[in-house]
Structure 1
Amino acid sequence: MTLHDLYQRPGFLLRRTHQISAAVFENACATVGLTPAQYGVLTVLASEPGLDQTRLARALAFDKVTVMRVLRGLEERGLVERRVSEQSRRQMAVALTPQGARLLQQAKEPAEQAYQRLLSPLTLPQRRQLITLLQALTDGLADEARAPFVPLETVPEAKPARTKPGRATRPARTRAPR
C-alpha cells in the first residue's frame, strides 16, 4: 500500500473529516464554550426533559463512559442536573437547568454557522448526496458500532419486553476488531 492509497481510504477520510468538523464547531461555538458532544446532549435534553442516562446515551450513539464524562462537565458548569428517575430508582434522570437552556439558545446561531461552514465546499446537490451516502453507510453497518444508536422518536414509551425475570432485551451489537 502506498501513502496515496492510505489517504484515499474511507476510514482515513472520515476520521479527517471528523477532526475538521469538530474544529469548525468548536471555533464557531468558542464564545459559548461548547463541544459538539455537549451541544448534542443539551439539544436532546431540551426536547426530552428528564431523560434517563441510558436513553440519552443511545439517542446520541455514545457509550456509557462518554455520556457520563460529558454530563459531569455540564453538571459542573450548572447546565444540567441529574436526579433519581421517577420511573426507576436505579436510573438517573437528566434535565437542563435554566442556565443550560439559555446557553443552548445562545449556541443555536453559532452551531448553525458551523454547519454551514462545514458544508460550504459542497454544492446543494452534493450536500444532499453526502448526507444520503453517510446515512446509507451508518445504516448499513450499524451492527458494527460499539455504541447503539436509538433515535428518540423510535424509542417505545412502554417498558421493553422481558426475556427472563430481571433481564431486559437489548439490541444486538458486535465489536469491531481494534
Structure 2
Amino acid sequence: MEQLENYRKLHVLLNLIRGLYKALDNDWRKAAAEVGLTPCQQHLLWILSFKNGSTLTELSEIGVWHVSTVMSMVERMERNGLVSKEVDSNDARTKRIFITEKGRRVRQETLKGEGHFRLLALLNNMKEKEVEEGTKILQYLVSELLGERFLEFVHTSAEQILNNKENLALE
C-alpha cells in the first residue's frame, strides 16, 4: 500500500509541476518573442547581467542546459551582436562570455514583458506567508536536486535586483 501511495504522490507532483512549467514557459515564450528572443536566449542575457564573463560551463550550470546547447546558443547570439566571447587570460582553453551593449539594451527591453507572466498576478493575490512557505519548499527541492551552487545564484541575483535598481533602470 505504501508503494501505491508513493506512486500517487509522484504522479500528482510530476503532473502539477509539468503543467506549471508549461504554463510559465508559454508566458515566457510570449514575453521573449516581443524582443526577438527565445526564452533561453532571454534567460542567458539575464544570467550574464548578473554574472558577466561566465564560462560556458558556468552558464550551463546556472541555466540548467547542456554545455553543447550553451555553445550553439552563444554562437547565434554572438552573430546577432548580443554577446561576445573572449579567451580567458589565465587559460587559453577557456572562453568567457560577455553581454554586449546591444545585449544590455535588449535585456532591458525584456522588462516590458512582465505583464505576460500570469504567475506574478497570482502570487500578488496570495498571502505573503503562503508565498514564503511555497518558496521554502521549492528551495529545498531545488537545493537537493540541482545543488547549492544553483540556489546561491538565485539568491545572489535576487539580492542584486533589490540592491541595484539602476541595473534594471527602475525609479
TM over 0.5: yes
Alignment: residue pair count? 145
Match of 2:49 in 1: 46
Does 1:97 find its partner at 2:72? no
Which structure: greater helix fraction? Answer: 2
Match of 2:119 in 1: 118
Match of 1:23 in 2: 26
Distance 2:15 2:72 in 1: 26
Match of 1:173 in 2: none
TM-score (norm 2): 0.70
Structure 1: stretches of 5+ with no match in the other structure: 155-178
Structure 2: stretches of 5+ with no match in the other structure: 156-171
Percent sequence identity is 26
1:9 to 9, 12, 15: 12
TM-score (norm 1): 0.68
Q: SS of 1:95's equivalent?
A: strand
Alignment check: 8 A CA contact 1:58 1:150 kept? no
Equivalent position amino acid for 2:39 in 1: P
Q: CA RMSD in A?
A: 2.8
Instruction: State the 1:106 CA deviation.
Output: 0.8
Change (3 A) 1:28 1:142: closer
Match of 2:71 in 1: 68
Alignment check: 8 A CA contact 2:85 2:96 kept? yes
Does 1:133 find its partner at 2:137? yes
Instruction: State the 1:28 CA deviation.
Output: 2.5
